[in-house]
Amino acid sequence: MLLSTPSQIIENLTTGVVAVDRELVVCVVNPAAEMVFDSSAKQMIGQSVARFWADIEPLLRETLRSGHSFTRRGARLPLLGRDAHVDLTVTALMGAAGHGVDGLALEIHVVDRLRRLAHDEEIVDHHQAQRLVVQGLAHEIKNPLGGLRGAAQLLERQLGAGEREYTRVIIREADRLQALVDRLSGPTRPTRKTAVNIHQVFEHVRSLLLAEVGPGIRLQRDYDPSLPEIAADPDQLVQAVLNLVRNSVQAMRGAGTIRLRSRIERQFTIGQRRHRQVLRAEVEDDGPGVPPSLRETLFYPMVTGRADGTGLGLSIAQDIVRRHDGLIEYQSQPGRTVFTLFLPFEVKT
Ligand SMILES: Nc1ncnc2c1ncn2[C@@H]1O[C@H](COP(=O)(O)OP(=O)(O)OP(=O)(O)O)[C@@H](O)[C@H]1O
Ligand SMILES: [Mg+2]
């Protein structure tokens, strides 16, 4: 026997369901549809569906007239700042006999997200393979570099004051290379997780940055104070967020606004695992955006758009977040770039 009522079933579907009346006014919205439209049922019910999805209005009017249900694959759904692609089925809801169509039911299934998931897995695997190569290389360089520096120091003692200039160059360059090799290795100590509030991490990064940047850069906060703590290594998270915020500062060249935002995201899949809720921590800036030539390979080590960049910041940040079973994604266009950290609340058992 089925224990749930039809409305409970609709509530728990992963497909977005919206019902509209003959005037295309929204009467029913399930939680999955709230996520698709990034609006609450309260905001949507009583409003015309055209307010949330203007392009679809003519098609819906046509369905009301004809009574013919239809399915459209890959329909474009413009949402704030990005386009989603959805599979849409519209069913005409027939009224009492002879009264024609009473309203419409829209079933909306976001396909972007499915595509994105498959793509993510590939990118993360590729990225981790690359990091292993880079870490291996860094390790190989480390030992001979130590020998080189030690030998230069010994040599320095045997040389007269006028000749030390050369050994100094060797030592200075060896130190520079050592710093690079250390960054290439990424965080070397094991991740030590404790209960961390993401806002402590944000505030720490903010205080570090305020000391570095000029008055042209504003650092705003938009926090959800009700967020639970996560199990994380606070120092590593500070490192990851700092890398993102520093990139924003560098991209904005002295003037602009950075927003640190925290939210809960429900029903989110990372890798193979679906989480009931995850933390969404965002770093948003109004700079020029990520150069289009870097977009596909952005998280790979040594990918940089800056003359003095090493291209390691994002690779290290992604590595740290992966150690926390999370994921970093980004969206970018001129005037709005958002890097988003997704981190699970539940501790892995
Ligand atoms: N918020 C942003 N806006 C515009 N471009 C960005 C932003 N974040 C990253 N980028 C681009 O991505 C590139 C790679 O960033 P990443 O942090 O990995 O390396 P980097 O900043 O160049 O060097 P490093 O962090 O090692 O000093 C940057 O050089 C920049 O071109
Ligand atoms: Mg960087």
pLDDT tens string, the chain, 349 residues long: the values are 566 787 888 777 778 999 999 999 999 999 889 888 888 899 999 999 999 888 889 999 999 999 998 888 878 887 655 667 888 999 999 877 667 889 999 999 877 665 566 566 777 777 778 888 888 888 888 889 999 999 999 999 998 888 888 899 999 999 999 988 888 887 777 889 999 999 999 999 999 999 899 999 999 999 999 999 999 999 999 999 999 999 999 999 899 999 999 999 887 778 767 788 899 999 999 999 999 999 888 988 888 999 989 899 999 999 899 899 998 999 899 999 999 999 998 654 4
Cα 270 to ligand 2 centre (Å): 24
- Cβ of 313 closer than 6 Å to ligand 1, yes or no, is yes
| Number of C-beta neighbours around residue 142 at 10 A | 15
The DSSP bridge partners found for residue 103 are: 21, 93
- pLDDT at residue 130 in the model: 80
Cα 26 to ligand 1 centre (Å): 43
Q: With contact defined as beta carbons under 8 Å apart, do 194 and 232 qualify? A: yes
Six-digit token pair at 138?
């860094």
- Cβ of 314 closer than 6 Å to ligand 1, yes or no, is yes
User: Using CA atoms, how far apart are residues 286 and 68, in angstroms rounded to an integer?
Assistant: 45
Q: With contact defined as beta carbons under 8 Å apart, do 342 and 279 qualify? A: yes
User: Using CA atoms, how far apart are residues 142 and 156, in angstroms rounded to an integer?
Assistant: 21
Look at the chain and count its residues: 349
User: Using CA atoms, how far apart are residues 24 and 255, in angstroms rounded to an integer?
Assistant: 45
Q: Are strands 217-222 and 256-270 parallel, antiparallel or unpaired?
A: parallel
- The 10s digit of each residue's pLDDT in 31-67 is 889 888 888 899 999 999 999 888 889 999 999 999 9
Q: Residue whose CA is closest, atom 31 of ligand 1?
A: 305
User: Using CA atoms, how far apart are residues 23 and 64, in angstroms rounded to an integer?
Assistant: 9
| Number of C-beta neighbours around residue 210 at 10 A | 10
User: Using CA atoms, how far apart are residues 201 and 179, in angstroms rounded to an integer?
Assistant: 25
- pLDDT at residue 27 in the model: 95
| Number of C-beta neighbours around residue 344 at 10 A | 21
Q: With contact defined as beta carbons under 8 Å apart, do 167 and 152 qualify? A: yes
User: Using CA atoms, how far apart are residues 272 and 116, in angstroms rounded to an integer?
Assistant: 13
- Cβ of 312 closer than 6 Å to ligand 1, yes or no, is yes
- The 10s digit of each residue's pLDDT in 59-100 is 999 999 999 988 888 788 876 556 678 889 999 998 776 678
SS3 at position 271: coil
User: Using CA atoms, how far apart are residues 48 and 116, in angstroms rounded to an integer?
Assistant: 30
- Cβ of 319 closer than 6 Å to ligand 1, yes or no, is no
Q: What is the dihedral of CA 210, 317, 327, 230, to 10 degrees?
A: -60
Cα 322 to ligand 2 centre (Å): 18
- pLDDT at residue 275 in the model: 83
Cα 194 to ligand 1 centre (Å): 29
Q: With contact defined as beta carbons under 8 Å apart, do 288 and 251 qualify? A: yes
For the chain, domains (ranges, CATH) are 6-110 (3.30.450.20), 112-185 (no CATH), 190-349 (3.30.565.10)
- Cβ of 303 closer than 6 Å to ligand 1, yes or no, is yes
- Cβ of 291 closer than 6 Å to ligand 1, yes or no, is yes
Average pLDDT of the chain is 88
Instruction: Give the mutation target among 176, 244, 250 for probing the ligand 1 site: most ligand atoms within 8 A of CB.
Output: 250
Sheet holding 16-21, edge to edge: 26-29, 16-21, 101-110, 82-94, 70-79
Q: Residue whose CA is closest, atom 9 of ligand 1?
A: 247
* CA distances from residue 186 to 24, 132, 139, 179, 318 in whole angstroms, order as listed: 54, 10, 11, 11, 11
- Cβ of 304 closer than 6 Å to ligand 1, yes or no, is yes
Non-local (6+) Cβ contacts of 287 within 8 A are 248, 251, 252, 253, 256, 335, 337
Q: Which ligand is nearest to the CA of 183?
A: 1
The torsion region of residue 311 among left (phi > 0), alpha (psi -120 to 50) and beta comes to left
- pLDDT at residue 90 in the model: 93
User: Using CA atoms, how far apart are residues 23 and 49, in angstroms rounded to an integer?
Assistant: 9
Q: Which ligand is nearest to the CA of 283?
A: 1
Cα 318 to ligand 2 centre (Å): 12
- pLDDT at residue 163 in the model: 85
Q: With contact defined as beta carbons under 8 Å apart, do 232 and 332 qualify? A: no
- Cβ of 289 closer than 6 Å to ligand 1, yes or no, is yes
- Give the nearest ligand 1 atom to 248 CA: 1
Q: Residue whose CA is closest, atom 14 of ligand 1?
A: 304
